[in-house]
Structure formats: C-alpha cells, structure tokens
Amino acid sequence: MAEILKHAVPRSEVAASLAQVRETVTGVIADIRERGDAAVREYSEKFDNWSPDSFRLSAEEVEKIVASVPEQVIVDIRFVQDQVRAFARHQLDSLREFEVETLPGVRLGQKHIPVQAAGAYIPGGRYPLTASAHMTIVTAKVAGVPRVVACTPPIRGEIPAATVAAMHLAGADEIWLLGAVQAVAAMAVGTDSMRPVNLIAGPGNAYVAEAKRQLFGEIGIDLFAGPTEILVLADEGADPFVCAVDLLSQAEHGPDSPAVLVTTSREVAERTITEVERLLPGMPTRDFAGPAWRDHGQVHVVDTLDEMYALADDFAFEHVEVLTAEPRLALEKMTQYGALFLGEGTCVSFGDKVIGTNHVLPTRGAARYTGGLWVGKYLKTVTYQEVTDSASQALLGRLCGRASRVELFEGHARSGDVRAAKAEGDALPWNGVA
C-alpha cells in the first residue's frame, strides 16, 4: 500500500483553472481570426508590453543581435545543437522507405514527405529558453522542412538575444518576437503579415498548450506539452539531497509544474522533504519553485519496486528520473512516460539543456498514447500502389467486386469490375455489355 506524505492540491482546483484558460484562449483565437494583425498587436501589447514596427526580425537585425551574444554562449549553443542534430539524424536513419512486389506486377510503397511549413514556439516569458529552439527548429530541419517559422516572446520588454541566436543557428527561416496565444494563433490561421504553417511544435504554458489543443485539426501539432512534470523514483540507496535538487530543478519552470517523489524508503521520503524545505528559500527561482512544490508537489512511499513502477505508469509523467540500484530495470517495467533518466549520473536537466534527446515531451497523461517530439513528427508517412500485370489486375478486380458487394458498395464494386474487364475481358452486365 502506498502512503502519501505530501499531497497536491485537489484536481478540482486544477480543472477550474484550466476552464478559465480555455475560455480566454477561445476568445483570443476568435479575435485573431477576425482581425488578424491588429488583434495580434493588441494582445502583444496587453500581455508582453511589446509593439514594435514589425514583429518579424530582419536579416540585419538578426545579425546584429547574434553579434551581441558572448562568444562562449555561441560555442555552447553550437555544441548542443550538434548533439540534437546527431540524435535526430539517427532517428531519421531508423525510418525506412520501401517498395515491395506483393503479387506479380503489384508494387506497394512507403515514403516520408516533410511538412512544407512548420511553426516552432520557443517559450520565454520568464526565462530565455534557448534549448527549445534546438529541439524544435534543428529537428524540423533534419526532417527536411523547407520553411520553419520561429516565434518567441520578449522578456520584460527586452529582446532575448541568446534565444534569437539559437533560433538563427538552428536554421529558422523566419524569426518573430511574438509570444503566447497570439503567436500560436497567428502561425496557425495566418495574418496579412504571416503566412500560416502546417504544424506547430514546442512547449509552453497552459495558454500555449490550450491554443494548440483548440487549433489541432486545422493544423497539426507535435503533442500536448503543458507545464513541466518530474517524477523521481528512488530506492533506499538514493541520496535525498539529489532527489530534492532534481525535484526543484523542474519545479522552477513555473508555479503549476508538478514535482513528485515515489520511493520505497520512508527515510528517503522524509529527508527529501526536509532538503526541499531547506533549499527552497535560497533559490533565485523560489517565486516559481515554491508555489509549484506547495501546490503540486507530492511524496509517496510504497512497499516494493514493482509497486513503485506501477504507480509511476499511473502518473504517466513527462520526465521520470530513476535513482535506484538497477535503474535500467525501468526500461523493462515501465511503459508510460515521456523520457527516462537512468541513474544518479543522468539528471532531467541534461535532457532539457544539453544531451541531445528532445525535451518537448508529453504532459498531463499524454504519455499514455504518445512519445515526445522527434524527427518523425515533421514527416508524413505516405503510401503508393501500382498494378501493371494484367492477371493481377483481373484477380484484384474480381476480388474487389465481391468484397465491395458484401458491404453494399456497388460503386466500388464496379471500379473493380472495370479492371477485370480491361485486363481479361470480364463481362460488365450492369453496363449493358454481355
């Protein structure tokens, strides 16, 4: 039996907050559909206090901004983007196009076509999240997307130079200083100044996630990526200090970011809580991490490792960090997570910032049915077919006629009949031909 030493706020409170977000987002999207650029500008002024002559940066502006970034930052950005690019290329190499002959003269094939325009949303209301530029733009370019539109908001009225540099170095074709729902809606529906895209990728706050949810179907999206989540799984040998540091590393993303510990050791649980409370007051980001831990932090104590893994799958969290004696056992035991971080040497922050796997991952239980952003999200896997052998054409035509009439689809049946007639002279009585 699991014992809960720390509870999160009731789900009803979270649901009420989401309902308010949903209503706000619906109104903003409808307004941008109707008034386009004028509405985009009003919301940018309202939410970001940002209204330049043009939200899109010119090539000259980008060059000037990139030149202002310290050289070491540029070196680090290039290094991390190399890691992301290499992993995305390995993913691309794992996808195979093929053509097979299933019957004489019957060829079936599969190929991968990149979407022709993708939007990359890089959050930045609180922090300059350069890493999200690597994850969304580099991966799209590896997939072969010819037009990538990248949007990021200003930070307290200032241009986030490092983020702009990351967007540019990643290969963005258009860079816009535009944030939140207005950015997502503009990319999705288009305005006089921005051509719409086919798919939008990237993480964001609850408003960005809701905008993507409401626009899905009109455009494609990567996944529902809401507030960051971390689940730490620990046995009796885990270091409570490490558990606490890593829980807070993700709680600082925002006041609505869940941070959860599940452990087989009551001592580890209690000492982790003590360490969190000790570390929090000294964190520069305590204004976000504090409310996140207070309202969304949880600590569970379970009896066995199997119970721990089962509970972890029930959470289906974005990030799962495994601090156990045999961390790779999680690969066998777990099926529902965005990404696993195995062992004390592998923190979630590595995945967020530097290691090369994609940090745009499913939240709010979406790991039950999807993985994270990867090169395949930017590709449309399509099929084609060709029949050139007359005997196969007749065989399939007759079969199509019989199968279609079982379903009372006479039009389908007649298409098959015609192929059999063309190939081997079958009669078409429904056409008045003996």
Q: Which residues are catalytic?
A: 318-319
Calpha distance 262→285 (Å, rounded)? 24
Amino acid, res. 412:
H
Handedness of CA 288, 289, 294, 297 (dihedral sign): positive
Q: Which residues of 259-293 are buried (b: 16+ CB within 10 A; e: fewer)?
A: bbbbbbbeebbebbbebbeebbeeeebbebbbbbb
The structure tokens listed for 409 are 């689809």
Handedness of CA 346, 285, 65, 37 (dihedral sign): positive
Q: How far is CA 248 from the centre of its chain?
A: 22
Q: Is 322 exposed, middle or buried (0-12, 13-18, 19+ CB in 10 A)?
A: buried
- The DSSP secondary structure of 200-234, one letter per residue, reads EE----HHHHHHHHHHBTTBEES----S--EEEEE
Amino acid, res. 325:
A
Crossing angle (nearest 10°) for helices 410-424 and 390-406:
160
Residue 300 contacts by C-beta under 8 Å, 6 or more apart in sequence? 2, 3, 4, 5, 260, 261, 262, 263, 269, 311
The structure tokens listed for 141 are 């370019």
Pairing of strands 106-114, 379-387: antiparallel
Residue 92 contacts by C-beta under 8 Å, 6 or more apart in sequence? 142, 143, 375
Say if residues 250 and 285 touch (Cβ distance below 8 Å): no
